[in-house]
Structure 1
């Protein structure tokens, strides 16, 4: 495809999952209708930006390992969420990790293809698709724009007449050349919760490097973060708004062996930087109000 051609959008089947493949003059994007989950993203002639497991399974009702799963109306273990988030769930003690919408089909509202990019919009409405264990009225929309960069916009709208309290995250898996060389820049001075050490409060000093399993919730995060990826001579830039917290996660060797849809030796090639609204950054939506979480990402070469 040359620069004068319009983007190509086609519906494809990935085993059990209907998906949409978008090709522009500069990039290719794959999105599953289930969970409105971005599966992969790569600029032509470059390394992938979004990581997808080689052992990913494309099955109904099961989140795919990799891409950008959407975690909502809570993130992680419900019991580790604020009490106000827990209180809205009415399904007993077996709450699934990362919420309720990753394994459900969303409605594709439309695809707008233009010379300079493509827009896709997905919606999940809990009035039209009731969640029996979370009986509340809300609409969740994900807008995706692919141009020279990839832009995500996750919108929450409280359709009910009582406040809604939720946590959420864009559980983004980024591809890196070697996690042992990678660093995340922009977190200096941020408070974080060290979940692997009994959820102890800590403070970041300098850039974040990796020498073992990492699972941290950073608080009061800035709008601009970046992943320095020297193995592939690039810096992945991440610009967000509507998010004051982020999870940094990599499984390392032992945890990788216990994960589903994950090859034992795949851990050096991925890093999760998950922008969201977590812990005290949770959303409290008054009736009829909305909140929007935005993320734009792109790669730049490292200077010589």
Structure 2
């Protein structure tokens, strides 16, 4: 299929994005970071992702909102604090390989391979593909192939931002699950309540989960998330942290929560030379 007709420039930027419109949805996917920025479900006339009004569309910088991809590490680098937080995938220009359309919607294939720049940060040969399905649901497939002569380890996360009224939102699916409280000296705790509610800054890493979550709004199901990856992160910056984030409006903490899925902490992945691993994420109205 001729892909050029799908390409647009992001607002006040030279960065290119893929604009999708079909019977099911409207979507916008940045080639910078292979990042889904917007996904609007026509079925329920609802946006399923949040994008900051102050998001910066600049080469080499992370875009605040949508679904940034953290890879090949999540958070700070485990041994070198000078390396970029959350790795380099979200700050890299990916290559658009194909766009197809069928009765289920559009399917976008984007690829990232090692370069001299990535080798400076993570000295391995690899091929990482994201296959993004834009239909009745938003589905993402992460496929990583080790092209190196040596095994490597990695962590990753889809750092998904969801639109809610934060004080009226809750996240279901993590009851009786252990988590690392990153705001309390990384103490390991257990989620005892059925739902996670937001009354202060929240930053929790759940290494092992069922991979199935529901975001509720005012007690009603709002968004459904399913992932084959084992880990999850629940995050909201609240008031003080939002004031320190240049690409988040001071009051925007009230507009979103992050429910991230991936392989984090104890669920770090080791991939032998020549091997391939895949993970899926689906986001739908609940």
TM-score (norm 2): 0.93
1:10 is the counterpart of 2:9: no
User: Which residue of structure 2 lines up, in the alignment, with residue 82 of structure 1?
Assistant: none
User: Which residue of structure 2 lines up, in the alignment, with residue 272 of structure 1?
Assistant: 258
Q: 2:169–2:218: 8 Å Cα contact kept in structure 1?
A: yes
User: Which residue of structure 2 lines up, in the alignment, with residue 253 of structure 1?
Assistant: 239
Q: 1:9–1:22: 8 Å Cα contact kept in structure 2?
A: no
**What is the CA distance between 1:230 and its match in structure 2?**
2.3
Instruction: Report the secondary structure of 1:118's partner residue.
Output: strand
**In 1, Cα distance between the equivalents of 2:109 and 2:116?**
17
Question: Unaligned stretches of 5+ in structure 1?
Answer: 1-7, 80-85, 87-91
Greater mean alpha carbon deviation, residues 245-254 or residues 222-231? 222-231
In the TM superposition, 1:1-304 aligns within 5 A as 10-14=6-10, 15-44=13-42, 46-79=45-78, 86=79, 93-126=81-114, 130-176=118-164, 178-205=165-192, 206-230=194-218, 234-241=221-228, 243-300=229-286
Q: 1:9–1:23: 8 Å Cα contact kept in structure 2?
A: no
| TM-superposition CA deviations, 1:217-240 (whole Å, max 9, x none) | 012110211111228x54211111
**In 2, Cα distance between the equivalents of 1:128 and 1:34?**
17
Q: 1:247–1:275: 8 Å Cα contact kept in structure 2?
A: yes
User: Which residue of structure 2 lines up, in the alignment, with residue 89 of structure 1?
Assistant: none
User: Which residue of structure 2 lines up, in the alignment, with residue 5 of structure 1?
Assistant: none
**In 2, Cα distance between the equivalents of 1:127 and 1:137?**
8
Question: Unaligned stretches of 5+ in structure 2?
Answer: none
**What is the CA distance between 1:60 and its match in structure 2?**
1.1
**In 2, Cα distance between the equivalents of 1:52 and 1:181?**
19
| TM-superposition CA deviations, 1:72-112 (whole Å, max 9, x none) | 11011113xxxxxx4xxxxx541110001211110111000
| TM-superposition CA deviations, 1:164-187 (whole Å, max 9, x none) | 1011100111111x1111111010
Instruction: Report the secondary structure of 2:224's partner residue.
Output: strand
Name segments (4+ residues, structure 1) moved above 4 Å.
127-130
Instruction: Report the secondary structure of 1:180's partner residue.
Output: helix
Q: 2:214–2:221: 8 Å Cα contact kept in structure 1?
A: no
**What is the CA distance between 1:143 and its match in structure 2?**
0.6
**In 2, Cα distance between the equivalents of 1:275 and 1:116?**
24
**In 2, Cα distance between the equivalents of 1:192 and 1:146?**
32
Q: 1:218 to 1:93 in 2, by over 3 A?
A: closer
Instruction: Report the secondary structure of 2:20's partner residue.
Output: strand
**In 1, Cα distance between the equivalents of 2:261 and 2:222?**
18
Q: How many residues align?
A: 279
**In 2, Cα distance between the equivalents of 1:154 and 1:9?**
25
Instruction: Report the secondary structure of 1:108's partner residue.
Output: strand
